[in-house]
Structure 1
Amino acid sequence: MSSSESSRFETSYNQDQRIEQHLMNEREMERAADRDLEEQRELTFATVFARKSLPIFNLPALRITKFTSSKIRFRFEPSKISDHVSKKVIFHCSMEYYKEYSRWHIKRDSFPVNYKPRIYQLFFDNNFFIIGDGNVVEVIFALDRILRDWTNREEEFRMEKFMRFQNGELEDLELDTDDEELFLDESQRIELHRKRTSILRRMLPPRDGKRQRRRRILEIESD
């Protein structure tokens, strides 16, 4: 290799090294900027949660139990705003942040199984496709409105059902435990359970001993 070729090779190699080093520096700067941004996000969310000055922390039925830059968790208790929804009904919901998309995703963790079909549709009717830090508070308000709407519908359903029961349009067995909790006193619940037990006993098939005795009686009568 001639001296001129060697010089060109060395120059090209040094240039490649400078380019590679420049790219490494840029990537490190980007990573540092991302770390700074994430630290700022963490601080912002922690400060908001500590101060609890936003209106979302004062909603009567919704209580936020976690509010970080990676996860928000809350529960909604309909009985806090209605006397005609069971206290056993509590909705738990969370939102998780995906860094790769810079977006939040809603998760319905543990809605009471008996209520899932009716309430899921309310979520599907509202399009929460893009949730960023800028509108996460707005989405929490929207979730609160959805659960309030469900509470109003459940209240109407329970009151109408009990009115039908009082008018004789429904049988005792058609009342469930939520209806009992909301509309019956202790003595009425005891009497209702007594009636149910009596009805269920009559519905049970006879034991083998009684069945055999009855069959023998029929055989004797036929002779």
Structure 2
Amino acid sequence: MSDFQKFLSDIFLWIEGGAALIALCYFKRLKGQYWRCFIYYLIIIFICEVIGKWGGEYVSFSKTKYYNYIVIPFQFIFFYWLYAVKSFNDKRLFWILSLLYVISFILSRLFFKESKIYFSINYTFGCLLLMFLVIKEYYNQVNSINILNFQENRMFYINLGVTLFYIGTLPFLTFYSLLRAYIQIWNIYFDYFLVSGIVMYVLFSISFIWGKQNS
């Protein structure tokens, strides 16, 4: 990792913390609204990232398994819930997507146990499911009667952030191990991974600042 990438990595972490702190400032204003769950999510993710960055200094654990089996599944399932249940009002869709995602872990263990890209299989499938929700959200926003007031739609900023980070980095994390053989390409993708992550959490912060508080 270059000095620039280390700098971006540190900024990424603190922008996550900043987003959680900004969201927490709106906690009282969102009383009785499901957006409080998004605040909890941001706080939990920041804590998870802190553990991932410094936890190894106190307790020995596999960071790969920590992210693959705890952090990333939590992220995907939360977003499935946010999109399917809260944005689309479709609980059935949430349970279907969540079940498919869980099944992908079983298939990975059965058929890709020895694969060099084993730890990217679950991410790839989970991200493809999330991509479906993202596209559906864009479709709903474009066809909404409130399209001219998109800047007040909290989901607009969240959806844009998810697009830039999760969808934008899909090729990188899908072929992560394979790209290591092409270090220049890997570095370009890794730079994008860090920058898009920073932008995503900035957009999450903006969603609380500019988004309607009663949405």
Question: What TM-score comes out, normalization by structure 1 length?
Answer: 0.28
Question: What TM-score comes out, normalization by structure 2 length?
Answer: 0.29
Relative CO higher for 1 or 2, CA cutoff 8 Å, sep ≥ 6? 2
Higher helix share: 2
